[in-house]
Amino acid sequence: MRKVLYVYKCAECGKRGEQHLDGDSHDGETSTCSACGASVTLEWDGGVVLETPQTIAAEAIARARECK
Ligand SMILES: [Zn+2]
């Protein structure tokens, strides 16, 4: 199954964290802040995780070409 990026903002310490989970059904689930351990709510970040910076660069180039 594809990995999906979820983000959260910790109400306790203000950390903006991210987690990679299988599938896109974890939106709104409770998780744990990696910095302080408080409960946080996951938010789907809207995209499939890109594995490497090279992949991100390649996609950015592809998008730029599509815009022209
Ligand atoms: Zn925290």
Mean model confidence pLDDT for the chain: 86
Q: Which two tokens stand for residue 30?
A: 């409770």
Distance 31 CA to ligand 1 centre (A): 11
**Sign, Cα dihedral of 30, 31, 33, 38:** positive
User: At which residue do the structure tokens 């730029």 appear?
Assistant: 64
* Residue 66 CA to ligand 1 centre (angstroms): 39
Whether the predicted pLDDT of 51 surpasses 80: no
| Mean per-residue pLDDT, 41-50 | 76
CA 39 to ligand 1 centroid distance, Å: 8
Q: Average pLDDT for residues 22-38, to the nearest whole number?
A: 95
> Which pLDDT belongs to residue 2?
81
54 CB-contact burial (10 Å; exposed 0-12 / middle 13-18 / buried 19+)? exposed
Q: Residue 49 Cα, ligand 1 centroid: separation in angstroms? A: 23
If we measure between CA atoms, which residue out of 10, 62, 55 comes closest to residue 36?
A: 10
